[in-house]
Amino acid sequence: EAGVTQFPSHSVIEKGQTVTLRCDPISGHDNLYWYRRVMGKEIKFLLHFVKESKQDESGMPNNRFLAERTGGTYSTLKVQPAELEDSGVYFCASSRREGEPQHFGDGTRLSIL
Amino acid sequence: KNQVEQSPQSLIILEGKNCTLQCNYTVSPFSNLRWYKQDTGRGPVSLTIMTFSENTKSNGRYTATLDADTKQSSLHITASQLSDSASYICVVISQGNLIFGKGTKLSVKP
């Protein structure tokens, strides 16, 4: 069984540019989560999809962040325009059902210059 | 405010030695507690899960304890190996939400 895959593994962009992160969950996992870890802080929840629907987006920092999961398969997280404080590692996780253990991807390390 | 505090922040031990990592939490309501291992450049991987009624659970050389009354958990690593070098993250699950600690960075030296 392939794990959760994230692309790219690293991204370096300038302030004001746009970046799109992608997450492919484990096949058959309806639940997909986005998390973020900024330097020196703990990992924090961003949002949760159940299939293609946003179940909880209470952790999204502001409207510069847009997450989509069209078709209920892979998900994208777009940051537009990127700001310096958006730098960090963005993790995606998936689970078959809510409440079951979440499997994490290796993250995308985003650096805003 | 729901918080998970871990100590120490970092730890260096010699290969073959034991160590214990601590986790204190102020999370309510409590569903369960997980310890994750995160290798550098990789995502967190679950080591153990503790429910409210469990006091101790082992997974190989890893033993986790939970005291739900004092809201404390520990992760004990026995006979450490070089491959144990990683960050160990305590995560408390509350109503389906994962609340993470900052982690303890463990370095095992030969």
Structure confidence by residue, pLDDT tens digits, B62-76:
999 999 999 999 999
Residue in B45, B98, B103 closest to A45 by CB: B98
CA distance A77 to A91: 11
Residue B91 in contact with residue B30, Cβ under 8 Å? no
The tokens describing A33, both together, are 């989560």
Please tell me whether the peptide bond between B8 and the residue prior to it is cis, using omega within 30 degrees of 0.
yes
- Asked whether the beta carbons of residue A4 and residue B43 sit closer than 8 angstroms, the reply is yes
Structure tokens at B13: 């031990």
Angle at B37 (CA atoms; ends B33, B39), nearest 5 degrees: 155
3-state secondary structure of B84: helix
Collapsed DSSP state (helix, strand, coil) of residue B20: strand
* pLDDT attached to residue A72: 85
A81 CB-near residues (< 8 Å, 6+ apart): A15, A16, A17, A18, A64
Count of CB atoms situated within 10 Å of the CB of B20:
13
Segment B52-64 mean pLDDT = 91
**Tokens at A95, concatenated:** 């689970």
Residue B53 pLDDT > 90 = no
What pLDDT sits at residue A1? 66
Give the SS3 label for residue A70.
helix
CB-CB neighbors (< 8 A) of A95 in chain B = none
| Nearest by CB: B96 against A4, A99, A105 | A99
Q: Which amino acid is at B8?
A: P
Interchain pair A105, B43: CB under 8 A: yes
The answer to whether B7 touches B103, Cβ cutoff 8 Å, is no
- Please report, rounded to a whole number, the percentage of residues in chain A having pLDDT higher than 90: 89
Interface contact B103, partner A, CB < 8 A: yes
What does the pLDDT look like over B2-51, one tens digit per residue? 899 999 999 999 999 999 999 999 999 999 999 999 999 999 999 988 88
Is there a contact between A81 and A18 (Cβ–Cβ < 8 Å)? yes
From CA B86, how far away is CA A73, in angstroms rounded? 31
CA distance B38 to B107: 12
Q: Which residue of B has its CA nearest to A100?
A: B96
A101 pLDDT higher than 70: yes
pLDDT band at B54 (very low <50, low <70, confident <90, very high): confident
Q: A105 contacts in B (CB within 8 Å)?
A: 43
In tens, the pLDDT along A30-62 reads: 999 999 999 989 999 999 999 999 999 999 999
Q: Which two tokens stand for residue A43?
A: 């990992």
Among B45, B97, B100, whose Cβ lies nearest the Cβ of A43? B100
Residue B48: its pLDDT value, please? 87
pLDDT surpassing 80 at residue B105: yes
Give the DSSP letter string of B23-88.
EEEE-SS--EEEEEEE-TTS--EEEEEEETT--EEEETTEEEEEETTTTEEEEEE-S--GGG-EEE
